[in-house]
Amino acid sequence: MLRLYDVHTQYGQVEALGGISLEVHEHSMVALLGANGAGKSTTLMTISGILKPSAGYIEYNNVDIGKLDAREIVELGIIQCPEGRRVFGNLTVKENLRMGAVSCKDKHRLKETFDYVFTIFPILKERISQTASTLSGGEQQMLAIGRALMAKPRVLLLDEPSLGLAPIIVDTIFEVIQRLNQEGVTILLVEQNAHRALEMAHYAYVLEKGRIVMEGPGIELRANPEVEHIYLSEVPEAEK
């Protein structure tokens, strides 16, 4: 469904991705792991068109999307939920969600989409008139994912959805991600909680300094001693 072939991305003279090749099959969940600065967010932003690859090829359903702008890529159904939530703090929950479906003018469809998001995150319905800045961190993350869902994603690019959240909220977020995937949304997940990500992901890639250094089914990488040593050793026993 989505394929990157030898993708390079630069920030000015600095090369952040040095030739990434990866595949995300339709309806699958793929995890992207790696230390801080490895290039995970850059990979997502290159797919979503926020950054342009300096070389290489990005293909979505056999179409070269590497040269499309971010808006065209959204219209194809590739939606990014950015790291750090980036909700609009002074807008209400409803207004934030509406931003996710900004091009939808059909009132009936819009209501259906709102209702769908409220079945996924009932708390957002309770908070509908509150400004986003008054929400808890977990609720803001739900709002950020909810806003992405308003755009009806076929591929959801999730950047560190569990970052900084309390364990009980992390559980809710991961349950939702799994549910969305089971309902047919293809997911590319960047996650610092490698343990949980590998548990859920069908396939995973490990990035190091802008290059893929390891890949395999989630379950296999989870059992790999090298991955265990680098990424899984700090997870408390209780979470294993």
Binding site for ligand ATP (CB under 6 A): 11, 14, 16, 34, 36-42
Strands (E) in 65-185, as ranges, are 78-81, 155-159
* Alpha-carbon span 39 to 59, nearest angstrom: 19
| Smaller CB separation from ligand ATP, 9 or 140 | 9
Question: CA-CA distance, 72 to 54, in Å (whole number)?
Answer: 19
Nearer to ligand ATP, 37 or 217 (CB): 37
CB closer to ligand ATP, 16 vs 143: 16
Of 229, 210, 181, residue with least CA distance to 22: 210
- To ligand ATP, the closest distance from the beta carbon of 176 in angstroms equals 21
Please tell me the distance from the alpha carbon of residue 87 to that of residue 46, in angstroms, as a whole number. 21
Q: In the complex, what is the shortest distance from the CB of residue 11 to ligand ATP, in angstroms, rounded to a whole number?
A: 3
Residue 139 or 159 with smaller CB distance to ligand ATP: 159
CB of 164 to ligand ATP, least distance (A): 12
Q: Measured between alpha carbons, how far is 177 from 190 in angstroms, rounded to an integer?
A: 12
CB of 30 to ligand ATP, least distance (A): 15
What single letter denotes the amino acid at residue 155? V
